[in-house]
A and B are shown apart, each in its own frame.
Chain A
Amino acid sequence: MKLLTWVVLAVSIFSLQACSYLPEEQIVTDVLGVYETRNYIEITPNSGDFSKTGFVFYPGDLVDPHAYVEPLSRFAVSGIGHKVIIVKMPGNLAIFDSKQGAYMFEDFPNVNRWVIGGHSQGGTMACTAVEKYPDYFKGLVLMAAYPKEKTDLSEWLGMVLSIKGEFDAILERGIIEAREVFLPPNTTYFTISGGNHSYFGKYEIQEGDSEGAISREEQTKITVTKIQNLYDTNGWD
């Protein structure tokens, strides 16, 4: 009986803390098709003409995956166009299924290679996916994210881009710099001047985050440009 009471209390307290951020209105150009299954959201240029290097993305913890549809649709139409897959996680917690990004490749036979990315804890879990399946991915994009201490990618041969906002008030100060040793030496680091933690997605500013000094639109534009540069530099077309 006492055990049951404690279980109920623990679950109730946890549930009060486990609210996911709902997306704000997502505006997507009609040159893109947005499809959805139980496991992922797929964004594809309607023309059918796009890069053979797909981008699979892990949302931040407790952020609804639809909050990334508009920002990543900007990337889907950049350059020659890209297929983007936003992975859905159980309970919107990437920690429960870090490998999911590697399970869905057979659904997309038109994509030859994959780059994985993630925001916040989603980026951390993307690092874990790369550690488990290093040959599946050619690149890694971290948005306000860093690898876990036990995730050593320093010898991984893929290309890594790490982006953060200058006024990110969610990340522990100095943590990205402290975890640089776990990323490959050729990793590109970029700090968005005036950026914050929340503007990598389109949802309300997270509790504890700053408002930043630039708009969400500007932060999205800079992020998309940086990811496109990663693709261009490596000839991923």
Chain B
Amino acid sequence: MIPMVGIRLLKSCLLVASLFLLVQTGKAQEFGLSVSAYPSLGYNLVFEPGMNGGGMAVFFNRQKYKKLNLSLSGEYSLTTWGNEAFFGLGINRTWLSLNRFELNTYAHAINGLAFFKPKSLYVFGVDSRIAANFYMYKDIKLFCGIGFRYTLCPAYAQYGLIETSFDLPIEFGIKFTRK
């Protein structure tokens, strides 16, 4: 059980971390906003295709090597468990770059909270996606992607039967590039 003060602190950290993503400077960087739907393969060990809600995310990619970026994200979603917020950390790699088209992938470890009273519950998982990017202008890209996402909320097992979810997210968004 996480004490209420701890939950408030975690929530504040999510907010501050999300804002921090927006004010980074340095090497080439990308900021973006996306919305996702979470078609689902199943939960726990049950194969049952369906929908697991959707969410929206802000993210920040910062160039580390030529085609490899450090990637951070903040996400808010509505799923089986209710309302959740995640902080993601991982890598983003560009595999193909042709004129106005780019193909890249990212993999994130995600940590967050499912918001409940009297105590919020810890949620974690992995989220990996492949995205096709189309340059609208020199520094603005639209993208769409698909991927795989596995999330766990172990403490929710006290209340319900579903504590894990296997999803196949579909994502649309916009990226702003700054060199």
Give the residue name and chain of the A residue nearest to B54 (CB): A90
Query: Which of B96-104, B115-123, B124-132, B143-151 lines the interface with chain A?
Result: B115-123
Judge whether A150 is part of the interface by a CB distance below 8 angstroms. Answer: no
Q: Is the pair A1, B22 in contact by a Cβ cutoff of 8 Å?
A: yes
Q: Give the total of A residues in contact with B, Cβ under 8 Å.
A: 32
Contacts of B120 in A (CB 8 A): 19
A22 and B117 contacting across the interface, CB-CB below 8 Å: yes
Return B88 CB to nearest CB of chain A, in Å. 14
A36 to B160, CA, bound (A): 8
Verify if A11 is at the interface (C-beta below 8 Å from B). yes
Question: How many A-B pairs fall under 8 Å by CB?
Answer: 93
**Which residues of chain B have C-beta atoms less than 8 A from A41's C-beta?**
160
- B115: A residues at CB distance < 8 A: 15, 18-20
Select which of A7, A38, A96 is within 8 A of B33 by beta carbon. A7
A21 contact set on B, CB distance < 8 A: 116-117
> Which residues in chain B, 139-179, are within 8 Å of chain A measured between CB atoms?
159-162, 176
**Pairwise interchain contact B19-A5, C-beta atoms closer than 8 A:** yes
CA distance in complex: A64, B159 (Å)? 9
Are B116's CB and A64's CB within 8 A?
yes
| Chain B interface, number of residues (Cβ within 8 angstroms) | 37
The answer to whether A66 touches B83 (Cβ under 8 A) is no
Contact with B along A1-24 (1 / 0, CB 8 A): 100110111011011101111110
Q: Does B78 contact A (CB under 8 A)?
A: yes
A215 to chain B, nearest CB (A): 20
Bound state CA distance, A91 and B79, in angstroms?
5
Check: B14 CB closer than 8 A to any chain A CB: yes
Q: A16 vs B82: C-alpha distance in the bound complex, in angstroms?
A: 13
List residues of A (1-56) whose CB comes within 8 Å of B's CBs: 1, 4-5, 7-9, 11-12, 14-16, 18-23, 36-39, 41
Among B14, B48, B119, B159, the one with the most A-chain Cβ atoms within 10 Å of its Cβ is: B159
Complex-state Cα separation, A92 to B156, whole angstroms: 14
Q: How far is the CA of A22 from the CA of B113 in the complex (A)?
A: 14
Question: Could you say which residues of chain B place their CB within 8 Å of the CB of A96?
Answer: 78
| A residues in contact with B70, CB < 8 Å | none
Contact A22 B118 (CB under 8 A): yes
Known contacts A11-B56, A64-B116, A204-B117; A88 and B80 CB within 8 A of each other: yes
Nearest 4 Cβ contacts at the A-B interface: A91-B78, A18-B83, A19-B115, A36-B161
A sample of 27 inter-chain contacts (CB < 8 A) reads A1-B31, A1-B176, A5-B19, A7-B56, A7-B58, A8-B15, A8-B22, A8-B58, A8-B74, A12-B15, A12-B18, A12-B85, A15-B11, A19-B83, A20-B83, A37-B50, A39-B50, A64-B82, A64-B116, A64-B159, A66-B159, A66-B160, A90-B78, A91-B79, A91-B83, A92-B82, A204-B118
